[in-house]
Amino acid sequence: MPEVIFTGPDGRLEGRYQPSKTKTAPIALVLHPHPRFGGTMNNQIVYRLFYMFQERDFTCLRFNFRGVGRSQGYFDHGVGELADAAAALDWIQTLHPDSRGVWIAGFSFGAWIGMQLLMRRPEVEGFMSIAPQPNLYDFSFLAPCPSSGLIINGEMDKVTQPESVQGLVDKLKTQKGITIDHALVPGANHFFEGSVDELVENCANYLDMRLAAIEAE
């Protein structure tokens, strides 16, 4: 798994990149939790999702937002981090111009950034939004949400109460042309401590279902 440094809007960005051997393999971009609360690309959930996509022959990239690890710059309250994510996707698409699609997976703060990015990139065909925080961040930009995807959160999340996430899910489900799947992990907190295996299994099952549907088209 090569370590990579690529150019971002505010200096270099540090990432981990695993290309598929298949020229047309889809791309997966995985976004980490809040930089101010210890979030990095080496977060266990980010790491596990990266390998989940890799095992299904995706070209995969995870990276550190500005100011994290060896990435240059300073925390920018989401504005600069969205620009970082767009630059990361540009970089990997330049290397893989024949990729047949893009998936975005984000955890917590990364879920908010990921959902904003998919609004700007029509090539995104699927997303995974893990422990989003609609009580802390504004998700009203999803009007409408352009892609089908999975929203998954913990039953015992004290950072974002399940009712708040359910409200976001209900709002998105009223939109035509997309399908929003929602999973609640029993007993799990915001960080899925003791429940990471179950979280990743839910994500993997969802991805397998979507990939089978794409193959059947």
Domains of the chain from N-terminus onward:
3-216 (3.40.50.1820)
Sequence letter at residue 79? V
DSSP class of residue 5? E
In terms of Cβ atoms closer than 10 Å to its own Cβ (0-12, 13-18, 19+), residue 100 is middle
What is the mean pLDDT of the segment spanning 62-84? 98
Give every CB contact of residue 143 below 8 A, 6+ residues apart in sequence: none
CB neighbour burial string for 84-94, b if at least 16 within 10 angstroms, e if fewer: bbbbbbebbbe
Given pLDDT bands bounded at 50, 70 and 90, which one contains residue 150?
A: very high
The backbone torsions φ and ψ at residue 178, rounded to the nearest 5 degrees and listed phi first, read: -130, 165
pLDDT of residue 46: 98
Contact 45, 130 (CB under 8 A): yes
pLDDT of residue 98: 97
Given pLDDT bands bounded at 50, 70 and 90, which one contains residue 143?
A: confident
pLDDT of residue 9: 98
Q: Is the pLDDT of residue 1 over 80?
A: no
Instruction: Record the tokens describing residue 135, joined without a space.
Output: 């009580």
